[in-house]
Structure 1
């Protein structure tokens, strides 16, 4: 019985430690995937606050991302699924995105008062 319990927990620990999603044929680097997630966050925020701006310039978020990073939809979704399956890595990537968004906001906020002064 002890051997069965040890074997059972050994199998469970091995299966839980491996990523259940197969590695994509065209695996994007962590940094590239983080860049993609950052760009998507910016574009979705722009689309949410000023949807007419993207529409009038004929910018579609997915098409823009695919062209910029020279990938196709299959590569993107396979990588998205692969990274999302590793919750620790994915959380770290999203934290990097949040940090970059905060930095960009701070930089833009510091420029904004100067722009207001020039408009007067």
Structure 2
């Protein structure tokens, strides 16, 4: 009975140690977490632009990969290795994607607020001008 307890405790400790160790080695040229969040954010924007405005991307001759590599001074291998490293740490990856999601939501809220304001301005511009109510002449008593 005592051996079973030791076995369970040992197995538990090994599980904790195994979970704490990174499965993927940290690459030498790892992209910092905050920069990686910026890259994920830009990728999200570029993907949505590609799916909703492909013709506009072609008209401005925007190549998403080239744009990202030039903007951040990285190459495809560095991006791939960094992405694999961050993906191997589920908690860190969740934090990063949560931050990206929050930034995208703030952007959406800003766009929605501007759109609402523009629609309101258009409605006010197109609405017929209200006439001032007619006033009755004052009675003169002399």
Q: Does TM-score exceed 0.5, indicating one fold? A: yes
Offset at residue 36 of structure 1 (A): 0.3
RMSD: 2.0
Aligned equivalents of 1:13, 1:95: Cα separation in 2: 25
Matched residue, 2:77: 74
Aligned equivalents of 1:37, 1:102: Cα separation in 2: 14
Superposed counterparts of 1:1-120, under 5 Å = 1=3, 5-116=8-119, 117=121
Deviations 1:15-53 (A, max 9, x none): 221111110111121111000000000000000011111
Offset at residue 4 of structure 1 (A): 5.2
Offset at residue 115 of structure 1 (A): 3.6
TM-score, normalised to structure 2, is 0.75
- Structure with larger Rg: 2
Give the total of aligned pairs. 120
Aligned equivalents of 1:68, 1:115: Cα separation in 2: 32
Larger fraction in helix: 1
Flag the structure with more relative contact order, 1 or 2, with Cα contacts below 8 A and sequence separation at least 6: 1
Deviations 1:89-110 (A, max 9, x none): 1011101111000100111111
Aligned equivalents of 2:96, 2:24: Cα separation in 1: 18
Aligned equivalents of 2:11, 2:116: Cα separation in 1: 63
